[in-house]
Structure 1
Amino acid sequence: MSVLLRGGYVVTQDSARRAFAGDVRIEGDRIAAVGATDRSADEVLDCTGCVIVPGFINLHNHVPNTLLRGFADDVPLEAMLPKAAAMDTKFTRRDVQVGALLGCVEMIRSGTTSFHDLFYWEDEVSRAVRESGIRGFLSWVTLDESLTTQHGNPLKNADAFIGKHSEDRLITPSVGVQGVYAASEETCLRAREIADRRGVRMHMHLSETRGEVEAHRKATGLRPIEWLEKLDLLGPRLTAAHGVWVTINEIRMLARHRVSVAHCPVSNMKLASGGVAPVPEMLQEGVVVGLGTDSPISNNTMDLLSDMKVAALLHKSSRWDAAVMPAQTVLDLATIAGARALEMEGEIGSIEVGKRADLAVVSMRGVHTTPFYPENVISHLVYSCRGSDVRATIVDGQVLMADRVLRTVDEADVVARAQETARELFEA
């Protein structure tokens, strides 16, 4: 199967950050040509007035929690977590699958082609991935058994999940850790042992709030990142979500161990975590940083185009510096940097011949993106566009959405099922 994206403006996100008017040709699951081409294809998508970009990479979220959207608004993290945990006890496998599928549809409609999930029952999330066609990096969360709502031992659950999904085309399994506030030294070490034995990555919350950091320091004498270094858990296969309450020495520690960070500005602001992740310092010190929406409970959407704008403005406002976090840097977070964080930059994150065909087509024909010309295209993507501007989304060469119509699932049916499932969940 071949697909031709014709007549668009291509933002490659390659090492030279080339951008030009042209076409992108797909053969099978790979990008076969970038630039002007006179060849046709099995399917041709007219991209006139649109930008062709690498599909966005959501580096941290909890996708099944779409069912809890709007459930715990206007409260801090410390109040949100117990409310979410109470609902977790009611979740069934069906609930997780339906919520995950709703989330996958939402992400596809806003140009996200890969997401990095942290949840339990990831085998149900994987069903949603296969049904919708999106790419999932799925981390089965582990924590102390005395604190979990999971059925069975979280560590054994994670190990079994990884063993069953190691050969899936769209699914990359990994080990998740809830955080130092819910995972003891023994749990963390056993999680690392599973990751090492299985050859997979790790994904955890880290230094999200001042309370988390101070409580851990009082309990252990060390800040969370210092403690993880002592346990030998820091390394290039770890992605740490948030990293709000970190010192410059901890940033250098993350850089030294090549730990990547998922920046979640909207969630951090909504939960009033009280600080702003020092992303400019992280980037200066060489930490790879990507962009995450976090949970639909705390965002409440999974629209990375909207979150890019917030990420840029948050740092400009808090630093009193309009030049900090420029548009190109923020676009990097949502594309090639997210791929680097997942150690997948050789496969996704930019538009280059031979890479997997994970692409999004974003319209520049709206009143809010006019005038559109080469010099302002990056700025428009970050400051003017929103998820509803995405016209087409392609993953692994498969067109998941074209002309705003999903092809892999019945969107109306997914919405109806999610609405009914949520109603049953809240009435239970």
Structure 2
Amino acid sequence: MKSLLIKSVEWNKKPTDIYIEGNRIVKIGEELNNPADKIIDGKRKAVIPGMVNCHTHAAMTLFRGFGDDMPLKPWLEDRIWPNESKLTDEDIYWGAKLACLEMIKTGTTTFFDMYTGFHSTAQAVEEMGLRAVLAGSCFDYFKPELTEKCKRESEALLASMHKYSDRLTYAIGPHAIYTVSGELLKWVQEFATANNILVHLHLSETKGEVEASIKQFGDTPVRYLHKLGVLSPNLVVAHGIYVDEEEMQLLADHGVSVVHNPASNMKLGSGIHFMYDEMKKYGIRVGLGTDGCASSNNLDMVEVMKLTALLGKGWRENPVVLSAEEMFESATATGASILQVDAGRIEEGALADLALIDLNIPAFTPNFNFISNLVYSANGNCVDTLICDGKVLMENKVVPGENEIMDKAAQRAYDLVER
């Protein structure tokens, strides 16, 4: 069993040692002398739990900067979906590796992905050493033959998980209510409940989606799902911008979690009035996500914390709401809770998923309040070292093989567009 000792790192405003055996934090204290296979000097660094990105599409790093400044529907139908149809397994593999690299560099240890090419993404995550919940995406476009195909594919993906490490967890990802039939949504919920897996779904992202839902299904998206009987603690919805008080109560009553994606919501013009504070008051767990790089352009969860806080304060005209501490909690402990991962906190016995923050930069000078500086002053470039599952994935801001990953991913992206 490999061991790791982090010496004199700042935690709770004082120098602390953290001793790790295998993939767990074993001891936290001052001047620990446990023998270790590796020792990291934590001076002028602070330690935080690895951040949790609760919604992304990893391989869409290949579409970074491709189709910018467009509305959601034509962006999807004219730019993204036609080019996604040309993706190969090799494209997805390198796109996912690039995403993992970016998340390592910016302090994320766990992410919730929904995309095509499940096994290519899984291979990339395994090799990069991160932790992920991978949602096998489902689209049936209301066609019965595709409904049955999605069911069989989902069963096969679940059955294949034995070949991957414990860092990878299977979930099921029906894309949205406008691309997935009610019949398939009901089957997905039964399948998820029977197998104790999470369900990931885009929901109430735009006004147009809500209007179309009322026209097609006779009700708003959350009420429609309630009528189908698919609201449950297994369900994690992305976006959830357009929900009213009754819908928030329905989500809370059924234990549904919601993921806020501020960069994507703003860039696509989907909306800014995300009810973070109201949802929290109803008891809804709210995680944070980047969405894919085609709509958010990066996977920097430090940036997401700042955007969430400033956007929420701005449209409410209230500087008190959405504090830095709340943002940090959402990006770490709450995200880990939503994804059912025993991480997101620095405690003896917890998974050793940690990020060391470089304090020797202007963003942390002066350092009256570390969490405030992290959320409001810094960005992901402040991450010096990343540890996931007890293994050092980045040290001194260097990830082994990072240049090759960037070169290969860029070439795959250029080749894809040329096709």
Structure 1 residue 293: deviation in Å? 0.2
Decide whether the 8 Å contact of 1:162 with 1:173 is kept in 2: yes
Deviations 1:152-206 (A, max 9, x none): 9333222211211156311000100101011111121222232233221101101
2:42 to 29, 43, 47: 47
1:336 to 323, 333, 337: 333
**Cross-structure match for 2:406:** 415
Alignment of 1:368 onto 2:363: yes
Superposition misfits of 4+ residues, deviation over 6 angstroms: none
1:228 to 225, 229, 233: 225
Alignment of 1:396 onto 2:389: yes
Q: Which residue identity does 1:424 align to in structure 2?
A: D
**2:334 & 2:132 partners in 1: Cα distance?**
17
Decide whether the 8 Å contact of 2:3 with 2:21 is kept in 1: yes
Decide whether the 8 Å contact of 1:145 with 1:153 is kept in 2: no
**Cross-structure match for 2:94:** 98
**2:8 & 2:74 partners in 1: Cα distance?**
50
**What is the TM-score of this pair, normalised by structure 2?**
0.95
Matched residues, percent identical? 37
Deviations 1:195-246 (A, max 9, x none): 2332211011010011101100111111111111111111111100001000
Decide whether the 8 Å contact of 2:114 with 2:173 is kept in 1: yes
Decide whether the 8 Å contact of 2:26 with 2:348 is kept in 1: yes
Task: Give the root-mean-square deviation of aligned CA atoms.
Answer: 1.6
Decide whether the 8 Å contact of 2:240 with 2:260 is kept in 1: yes
**2:356 & 2:390 partners in 1: Cα distance?**
13
**1:415 & 1:322 partners in 2: Cα distance?**
39
1:246 to 243, 248, 253: 243
**2:235 & 2:396 partners in 1: Cα distance?**
37
Structure 1 residue 31: deviation in Å? 0.2
1:59 to 42, 54, 69: 54
**Cross-structure match for 1:31:** 25
**Cross-structure match for 1:89:** 85
**1:37 & 1:159 partners in 2: Cα distance?**
50
Deviations 1:248-290 (A, max 9, x none): 1111111111100111011101111134211110011110001
**1:37 & 1:241 partners in 2: Cα distance?**
44
2:303 to 306, 309, 313: 306
**2:86 & 2:107 partners in 1: Cα distance?**
31
- SS of the residue corresponding to residue 306 of structure 1 reads helix
Decide whether the 8 Å contact of 1:145 with 1:154 is kept in 2: no
**1:37 & 1:235 partners in 2: Cα distance?**
46
**1:158 & 1:101 partners in 2: Cα distance?**
23
- SS of the residue corresponding to residue 298 of structure 2 reads coil
**Cross-structure match for 2:197:** 200
Question: Number of paired residues?
Answer: 413
**1:139 & 1:369 partners in 2: Cα distance?**
37
**1:224 & 1:159 partners in 2: Cα distance?**
26
Deviations 1:291-323 (A, max 9, x none): 000010000000000111111100011111111
Alignment of 1:405 onto 2:403: no
**Cross-structure match for 2:63:** 68
- SS of the residue corresponding to residue 9 of structure 2 reads strand
Which segment drifts farther, 101-110 or 225-234?
Answer: 225-234
Q: Which residue identity does 1:68 align to in structure 2?
A: F
**Cross-structure match for 2:5:** 4
**Cross-structure match for 1:109:** 105
**1:146 & 1:92 partners in 2: Cα distance?**
25
Which segment drifts farther, 122-131 or 164-173?
Answer: 164-173
**1:338 & 1:289 partners in 2: Cα distance?**
8
**1:191 & 1:260 partners in 2: Cα distance?**
17
Which segment drifts farther, 201-210 or 159-168?
Answer: 159-168
**2:139 & 2:31 partners in 1: Cα distance?**
52
Decide whether the 8 Å contact of 1:245 with 1:275 is kept in 2: no
- SS of the residue corresponding to residue 114 of structure 1 reads strand
Alignment of 1:284 onto 2:264: no
Structure 1 residue 146: deviation in Å? 6.6
Unaligned runs of 5+ in 2: none
